[in-house]
Structure 1
Amino acid sequence: MNVAVFGASKGLGLYLAEGLADKGFLVHGFSRTKPKSPSVIHHNCDVTVDYSINKALKDAGVEFDLIIYGCCLWQEHESITAAQLQEFIHTGPLGFYQVIEMLNNLQFIKPNANIVSIGSIAANHVDQSSHPAYAISKKLQEILVKRLQANYHLGLKITNLKLGTIGQSFVKVQEVLAVIELIISLGQSSMLSDITLTSTADAVA
């Protein structure tokens, strides 16, 4: 099975890439920074630049059975600015949409492949979030996923995987990997459209 992980240089993306590689999958990681991981095939890719996405995908040159998109920005200033919001949206939802569009145009998505968009519960509270640029970008990404899901008849099996806080007392990265494995274990005629994974600590917060 050929796997593409976008945002595989560190954190959750790198954990998922290495975890799937350890299970015997051929994993291609796409990121601007090369991870220190011998088990992941790295392709330099800036998801905010069309040419960079196109070149990285052509360098990989394979059809993918599983595509995971986890690119996003985290840090933001206390008050939102147009420039900052633009950066968040280009990296998250627009990057996601461009990657899927280009994979489709290049015919690098296998029939009945699984596509997983890593979202956030922050999208549920855009008007109350202390990180508005991040929350707005995740909400827009969720909307774009739903638009693509409407084209399910084209063979696109897309899951919106919405996560709470990742950490020791919150959602564990091992649990996210387990959900990914569940998604790919389903038959060709089934898909999980929306999954929310949170912890009791998230609920308290």
Structure 2
Amino acid sequence: MLWLVIGGIGCGKSAFADELAIAVGREGIRLSCPSFPYGEAAEHPEGRSETGFFRTMSEADGTLPEKIDAINMESNFYRAERRVVVVDSLSGWLRASFARTEAQGTIDEAFRFEAAKWQQTIQAILAFEGRIVVVTEEPAIGLAPAALELEYAGRLAEANRVLLRASHAVYRVTAGMAVEMKGYRIQERNETK
């Protein structure tokens, strides 16, 4: 089951994703990226909380698709219903991927490698058989965007559309308040009419 949490930078997406994970599961695995712009990963306590929710942490680094696949394959069938994986955030992971690409120097080869890794990440999320909460941003670009910025916005927008269609519920967070955009109470419009 996939939940998508979307919104702007610094709007409270991570806090809402944590609350959602506690509401839908009994234990969680948090895969965290550094916050914008390339800062430290947010501090989230590991271990059992006062509500009984147990959380483990891992970095959402270049091996993110492999980590998601490993969690998916190694999950005990009976524990899978209790476990929630939080990917915070997909946009942060893509931003870090672009930073790695720039650091490698040969942009064309690095772009191809990172594009393949990006597709692996999206496929790993879509193939996940348990409960997964994905935090992402809405791509925004400036008035005179560079080629790299346009590529980032295009990849993120496409991934957001794919994940939105596949998700069980979508929440948009603005100033700490989450609004359900797709879920239990909102029906998707019929695309064939």
TM-score by length of 1: 0.47
TM-score by length of 2: 0.49
